[in-house]
Each structure stands twice: as C-alpha cells, then as structure tokens.
Amino acid sequence: MPNLLESAWLRLLSAKDRESREAALLPLLESLRKSAQSLELSDLPDFSPRPVSLPRADDPFGESATTATASAASIDPAFRPFLSVTRERTAAELTGYLLQVAESSNPKWNAFSKIHGAEALAAARQVDTARSTGRPWGPLHGIPFGIKDNISVKGWPHTASSKILGQAVAAEDATVITRLRNSGAFFLGQTIMHELAFGMTSINPHLGPVRNPWDRERICGGSSGGSAAVVAAGMVPVALGSDTGGSVRCPATLCGLAGFKPSFGAVSRYGVTPLGGSLDTVGPIAHTAAQCLAVHQAIAGEDPRDPATLGTAGLGRREAPKSLGELRIGLPRPYFTGAMEPGIRKQVNLAVEKLQKAGARVENIQFPDLDAVNAAASLTLLVEAAGFFGPYLPQGKDIGEDVRGRFEQGLLIPGQDFMQAQRLRALWKRQVAALFAECDLLLTPTSPVAPPKIDDPYTELDGARVDARTAVSRYLRSFNFLGLPALTLPCGLDDLGLPVGIQLVGPGFSDEWVLRAGMLMEPVLGFDAKPPKA
C-alpha cells in the first residue's frame, strides 16, 4: 500500500537520489532549527509577505508625502538618448538598427530565445504615427524592450525557457506588459532564462548557456540572464525580468548594469509564471537608475488580479532626496565581514569612500544572522516552488537535472520547518524595519564573486573552494524574503576587468525613493565602462 503521507512524486525517486537531496538540505535545516530555538510561543508566522514599513518621526511615510512621477505627455528624459523627441531618430529607425545588431550579436551571446522582428517594426511604426500627430502615448513612447521568457505577451510562446511548457502560448498580456504598452513601449523579443527561473546561471539545458557580453566564457547570472545580456550587448535599451532570489540584480551586476527589485506587492505578478509565491517580483534591467525608475513608474500599482498589490497605493512614499548630504547609509555587518573576492572588496570599499567624500553619512549597523536568513529564504522557496511544479516531475528529463533536484528537495521539507521559517520571517522583518530608524537605506555588495566561467564555476574565497554559482546570490535572497526594494548599481571593475556592483535597500514601499537615491549616487560612482567586445 502506498504511503499516503508522502508525495506521489517522491516515490519516483531512487534511494540514491533521495539520499543526495536530503544531504543537501541538512545544512539549511540545521541553520533554521538553530535560529528557531530562540522563538517564543507568541511569535506568529508571517503569511503576508509584504514588507513592514514603520513610520519615522523625522521623515514620515504615508500618502501625505509627495513622489515625483513621470509625465505621460513626453518621453522620459532617461530614454531620450535612445530616441529623440525631435524625430532625429524614429522608433522604426531605432528598431531596424537594433534588429540588425540582434541578428549579428545574438548567436554570440545566446540571449534572445525568439526575436519578433516584424511585430516590433509594426509597433514602432504605430508609435511613430502617434508621435507625428503630437500625441505620444506615455513616458516610454517608442522604447523597445526585451521580455523575459516567463512573462506572458499575447500570442507569444510562454514557456519560461522550459521544455515542460514548450507548447504554451500566452492567451493574454501580463499586467506589466499591458502597462508598458500603455506607456508607449513595445517589444523586440523574448529572452532566455534559467529554466523556470530556478537558478542563478542561465545555463539552460534546452537552449544552451546565455553568455556574458563582458566575457563570453562566463555566465551572466540568472535567472534573468538573457534580459541582462541583451541590454549589455546593445540589442535593446532595457529589458524586463523577474526576481525571486536575486534574479534581476544578479545578472544586472554581473553584466555591469542597473537592476531593480521592487517591494513585494508593488508590481503585479499576474501573467508571470510563478516560482515562489511569497517571493516573486518583476523589475527592469537597464543602464541607469533613472531608466529603472521610468520603467518602475510605468508598471507599478494595484491590480485586482494580483491580491498582493491591493491596498499598497501610497504606502512608504516619502519626499525624494535632494542631495547625498541628506543620506544616512547603513552598512550591514554580515555583508561586509563575509568572504569576498579581493578585487570586489576593493571596489565596494572604494564606492563607500566616494559616497562619504560626497557628503553621505555612512556607519556600520547590526543585521540578523545572514546565514540563517538565507537558509529560511531558501527553504521557503524550495517548498513554494515544489508546490507549483511538483506535478510536472513525472515528465522527468523534460526538466533540467538541477531544477528537478530543487523541486524534489522542496517535497522533502517538513511542514514544521516551513512554519518555523515563516515565524522567523516575521521576526526579522520587524527587526530590519526598525533599522531604518537609524539609517535611510542599507548598502551592501551585490555579489561577493565575479561571474564564474561556464565550464568551471568555482572560485577561491578565504582559502576555500566554493561554487560561485551559489555565492552570486548570497547577498540577494535575504531581501526577497523580507520583501524590501533593492537596486543594484555598477561601481567599478575588478582585477580581471569584470564589473562589480553595490546594492541599495530601502524600507518597504520606498521604491521610488531608493531609485532616486541611486540617481544621486551614479555620478559619484562614475561607472561608464562598456563590455569590450559587445
């Protein structure tokens, strides 16, 4: 008689595979259980993954504070270098040029899964007609985007770069796509991602590895790897990705770009293939914080089809910062005392020094045990992802081995441990929210390692050989777990000439404020390098 207390899909596992999955889970479970020993009976779980936003007496949050918004009557200044409002370059001309670049470049970087050239040109001509009559549709009028494979565009394949969804076609646009269209944007093509968004390399078993435009022998990160590569290689000005454990910020920093993860609940996930129901977010990858802001303003807002967004309008808003001298920057100790490649540590410390010299007040602050937070975040994602995709496990080899293994791990995690993770989440969210009484934002390295090589994904950290594919997300997933907005900005090049990034994190729903703080920092950081062969 089958064991009804065990998932049917687990019974497909061999004894050897099950033992391997359990062994990989043990360090996470041990870390979680150690932290859970400090919980009181009164510590309730957090089943509302939206971030905590505490009011401050000196700078109150709330709807009374104003936030500048992009005008719908003109093209956002952040994108004018790509498309002149005086018709020096029409959208059709820009699109034709980018299609030529993509045709010659995409075979080298393997970033687009499908280029929709005819549709993009038709859309470009439409927006040019509207502009010629003096009626642009919005602040992104005439800007072509790359769209990650897990975001639905009506009539396009909707596969999340996986064979198990290989015949799926989107019946309607995702909410973020509808909002981009209403802002005047259109779409050049779909970008390859780590299968089902469950990994940090974008080495896809069905479509091949996405290659980093800074060095094609290296990964560009994941899971939104193709979205970062198409921007870094000059095939589109901006792309949309999703971020569940760092999947926008990781590839953005490894490709020398800006990338933004919004607060959980700030942007609708409707029409985006789910992975972690309490962790998934949607955000832009672009060249600058200003471009990320323009896109975020276009796609953010409540959506009845995504309950997480309801009631979020006006939360966390505050007056935009006017100078670096206003900013109090907290450096969370675990993010700076942990192992980091020397070239990256050097550039991150240099970035902090530049901000201090420009007037920002910088101080070290305490932070919850990062290993414990990451363990709880990882276990939460494994359980949630297995809930969505466990039924697909009988398809076996149609799912890549690395992704299938994570789904199987998720089915093995005891319910008690998942509950403890949510109780700890509630505790840590309150503790981190309280830190913003001491500082305006947090600053961390984005990744402690440079992009690893595709065929040799290991690096030396403090004398230990570690899997760099795991290390790239070490400083990222905590902020998905806490639901906070996070922006990565490039700040320099390491000793190998590869890009290094810093991450800025703000209180819950202070998304636009964080982006505007990033805009103040960019001139000070002074990063203007481009991939040498892109």
Q: Is 242 a catalytic residue?
A: no
Cα–Cα distance for residue pair 341/335, rounded to 1 Å: 13
SS3 367: coil
The burial of 135, by beta-carbon neighbours within 10 Å (0-12 exposed, 13-18 middle, 19 or more buried), is given as exposed
**DSSP letter (8 states) at residue 196:** G
The percent of the chain in helix, strand and coil, each rounded to the nearest 5, is 40, 15, 45
What number of other Cβ atoms are within 10 A of residue 397's Cβ? 9
Per annotation, catalytic residue among 35, 161, 247, 478: 247
Query: Which residue, 281, 157, 293, is CA-closest to 238?
Result: 293
Listed in order, strand segments (DSSP E) in 141-287 are 144-148, 186-191, 203-204, 208-209, 211-212, 215-219, 238-243, 258-261, 281-286
Per annotation, catalytic residue among 35, 113, 148, 478: 148
**DSSP letter (8 states) at residue 266:** T
Query: Which residue, 219, 162, 240, 113, is CA-closest to 471?
Result: 219
Q: What is the sign of the dihedral through the CA atoms of 175, 177, 183 and 184?
A: negative
User: What pairs with residue 465 in β-bridges?
Assistant: 460
Q: Is 247 a catalytic residue?
A: yes
Query: Which residue, 526, 344, 368, 351, is CA-closest to 451?
Result: 344
Chain-centroid distance, C-alpha 210: 17
Give the 3-state secondary structure of 448-480: CCCCCECCECEEEECCEEEEHHHHCCCCCHHHH
HSE, CB side, 13 Å, CA atoms: give it for residue 167: 1
Residue 346 structure tokens:
């050097």
Cα–Cα distance for residue pair 173/463, rounded to 1 Å: 49
SS3 8: coil
Q: Kindly report the length of the chain.
A: 534
Cα–Cα distance for residue pair 89/82, rounded to 1 Å: 8
**What angle (nearest 5°) sits at the alpha carbon of residue 459, between those of residues 454 and 463?**
170
For residues 265 and 50, is the Cβ–Cβ distance under 8 A? yes
Query: Which residue, 385, 419, 414, is CA-closest to 402?
Result: 385
Q: Is 113 a catalytic residue?
A: no
User: What pairs with residue 444 in β-bridges?
Assistant: 503
Cα–Cα distance for residue pair 379/370, rounded to 1 Å: 14
Per annotation, catalytic residue among 31, 113, 152, 223: 223
HSE, CB side, 13 Å, CA atoms: give it for residue 289: 25
The catalytic site residues sit at 148, 223, 247
